[in-house]
Amino acid sequence: MARSDSQQRELFMAHVAEHRAPRTAAHWALMLKPVVAEHSDEPGELRYRQIEYYRMPLMGYLALDDPRALSRNDFIRLGLVTGAGGSDNGSLVDDSSPRAIEEGSSLHGHGDGSALPYGADHLADFEQRYCYDRFWANAGAAPNTRYPCSGHALIVIGDARSQFYGCRDRGVLAQFRHQHFLLLLIAHFQKTALLMQSDRLVEALKNLDVGDADSVRSSARSAAASRVFCASRTATGFTRCRSRPRCASCSTCAPRTCSSTRSTTRSRCASPT
């Protein structure tokens, strides 16, 4: 077993100064064995490096006696995982908090958790961006159910008095454990795959020397291995064409003449999976 060394600041600072990369805490290194960190002195054929944001994504299922009793500030802190508002540092109080409603003005926090974690303008469209409110109504099998969802967390908040909301076999709790879990996992695997591709491209370009033919060929092979192709805009940002020849749906590539038939052929553009 290993004891956590996360409080030993000097070890982490020295590792970052030497390798320009974050250090893995001892207890996490133990859990990940036999896979070892890229800059670790321990032997291992499988090695990893951190490319994702250090905050671990999480999921939460909350069954409350009265979900409507939560203030807007509570939903914001839950959905964005900012923690409790015990130290507000003079932030503006949420207009929906009982204190602001009672006094009829924007007040400053006093350490009671009533202040917004970020600026009011930044959070103006919080419900539109982060809340799935299809079931946020006093009706249905699971009334007053809200799904705050961001890049950091997927939270389900509902009424504990609803039998369907707490049902482990076919209700919201079952959906949370078996369906919502997979949705969040797929989204983060997809994000990680894109980050891996970006990381590999950076590594390939970092070693590129345009004056060295061998370096150019090596970087080109690395880029090809990372499935980097010519880019064009799509709904997700980019569509990568597998070849230069033009197809019916891609007007950015040139037509190709087949050497065997001497006829102009067209190839298909496809996005990587």
Helix (H, G, I), strand (E, B) or coil at 269: coil
Which pLDDT score is estimated for 171? 95
Q: Is 70 found in the same domain as 20?
A: no
Asked if residues 155 and 74 have their Cβ atoms less than 8 Å apart, the reply is no
What pLDDT is attached to residue 189?
86
pLDDT for position 49: 82
Render each residue's pLDDT in the chain as its tens digit; 273 residues. Answer: 778 888 899 999 999 999 888 888 999 889 888 999 988 888 888 988 887 777 788 899 999 999 999 999 999 999 999 887 654 444 444 444 444 445 444 444 444 456 889 999 999 999 999 999 999 999 999 999 999 999 889 999 999 999 999 999 999 999 999 999 998 889 888 888 888 888 878 877 777 788 888 877 877 777 666 654 333 333 334 444 343 344 444 444 433 433 333 333 333 334 443
Query: Is 110 inside a domain boundary?
Result: no
Token pair of 238 as six digits: 């980019």
On whether both 127 and 225 belong to a single domain, the answer is: no
My answer on whether 123 and 40 are in the same domain is no
What is the predicted pLDDT for the residue at 250?
42
Q: Are residues 234 and 132 in the same domain?
A: no
Q: Is residue 196 part of a domain?
A: no
Would you say residue 15 lies in a domain?
yes
Give burial (CB, 10 Å; 0-12/13-18/19+) of 116.
buried
Residue for token digits 């600041």?
9
Check whether residue 23 and residue 140 sit in a common domain: no
Q: What pLDDT score was predicted for residue 259?
A: 38
C-beta separation of 116 from 138 below 8 A = no
Residue 214's contacts (CB-CB under 8 Å, 6 or more residues apart) are none
User: Contacts from 45-54 at CB under 8 Å and sequence distance 24+?
Assistant: 49/21, 50/21, 50/22, 50/24, 51/192, 51/195, 51/196, 51/199, 52/191, 52/192, 52/195, 54/22
pLDDT at 267: 37
Residue 113: its pLDDT value, please? 52
Which two structure tokens, joined as six digits, stand for 109?
């926090």
Cβ distance 210 to 218 under 8 Å?
no
Domain that holds residue 180: 58-82+117-187
Query: Cis bond leading into 34, ω under 30°?
Result: yes
Identify the pLDDT of residue 114. Answer: 61
- Asked if residue 231 belongs to a domain, the reply is yes
- Same domain? For 66 and 135 the reply is yes
Say if CB 93 and CB 74 are below 8 A apart: no
**Confidence (pLDDT) at 239:** 40
Helix (H) or strand (E) holding 37: strand 36-37
Q: How many separate domains does the chain show?
A: 3
- Do both 68 and 162 map to the same domain? yes
Q: Is residue 102 part of a domain?
A: no
Q: Residue 226: what pLDDT?
A: 61
Residue 252 included in any domain: no
Judgement on whether residues 76 and 13 belong to the same structural domain of the protein? no
Is residue 179 located within the same domain as residue 66?
A: yes
**Distances in Å between the alpha carbon of 144 and those of 135, 165, 177, 228?**
6, 10, 19, 46
Within a domain: 64:
yes
167 plus 66 within the same structural domain? yes
